[in-house]
Structure 1
């Protein structure tokens, strides 16, 4: 099977993220006081193999974008983005801004090698791996919230470390009427 050509992150998204200080590189979960990596991230601490964590792959190529918050890797794993929720466009639903969220997600990750960072729980009740996704050093979950394509959805125990930051991103997008916050009435995730 031929790989799709690598898509670059849209320049506007990178400039917006760089100018606002959001959407930047993944947060380092390294504890500077103890020198230990956070065990709950599901990483591969203490090993030289960074291709697989205790939850699943640490990276992979996105073969299919299901919607704004779920993708399938070439290796077959279905990945559900942590701490966010986009409006529904599957199972007969077509909620406001759902197609736009899928298209934006596709522009960012389809055909790209992405990095996956896990949290406390590795998978959801549907068997999807739960992860923060990054591409070219930018966290896609964060970009989706920041640019008004996703709402914050925290399902404990996951998301504790990023929740306040994501809530601030959502509040700013709401206030500025960015994305679905300016296009949908009502916003489906309210």
Structure 2
């Protein structure tokens, strides 16, 4: 699995629920639930809320992340902007084994690159991984 280590260290937090492929909740250090949105990537939508349509490969992306995160703990790394306009915490996410979740999703074709400055720390890595996934016709890029 793809792994990377950051200079920024935080404690591991328990995942309390997974919403979809790029959004989940953790129990923060104050014992409260906190909504996390992955930085730099976007997975297809899986829920039809009236505003959002169910998108191709959404269920697969959501199931992949649920399998990785359910009942697990993660470490969060932040970039320049800590919150988005919906008040979700923006983070790069690492599993306990060091797997860099954001990068893994792009590498395996479960997500595409979605960069919003100023949070661009890993944009070059994500772009490279997306090109490779497209070339290998993985996940979203299957014919």
**TM-score where L is the length of structure 1:** 0.67
> How far apart are residue 24 of structure 1 and its match?
1.1
**Over residues 115-163 of structure 1, what are the superposed CA-to-partner deviations in whole Å (9 max), with x where a residue is unaligned?**
000000000000000000110211111110000000001000002x211
Distance of 1:163 and 1:102 partners within structure 2: 22
Structure 1 unaligned runs (5+)? Answer: 1-16, 18-22, 30-42, 45-49, 52-58, 184-190
* Higher RCO (CA-CA < 8 Å; seq separation 6+): 2
Aligned to 1:32: none
Which sits farther off after the overlay, 127-136 or 84-93? Answer: 84-93
> How far apart are residue 63 of structure 1 and its match?
1.2
Distance of 1:25 and 1:111 partners within structure 2: 22
Aligned length: 135
> How far apart are residue 25 of structure 1 and its match?
2.5
Aligned to 1:8: none
Aligned to 2:20: 67
Distance of 1:107 and 1:89 partners within structure 2: 15
Aligned to 1:142: 103
**Over residues 3-57 of structure 1, what are the superposed CA-to-partner deviations in whole Å (9 max), with x where a residue is unaligned?**
xxxxxxxxxxxxxx3xxxxx2133x34xxxxxxxxxxxxx57xxxxx44xxxxxx
Structure 2 unaligned runs (5+)? Answer: none
State the 4+ residue runs in structure 1 displaced beyond 6 angstroms: none
Looking at secondary structure, tell me which structure has more strand per residue. Answer: 2
**Greater gyration radius:** 1
Distance of 1:109 and 1:140 partners within structure 2: 10
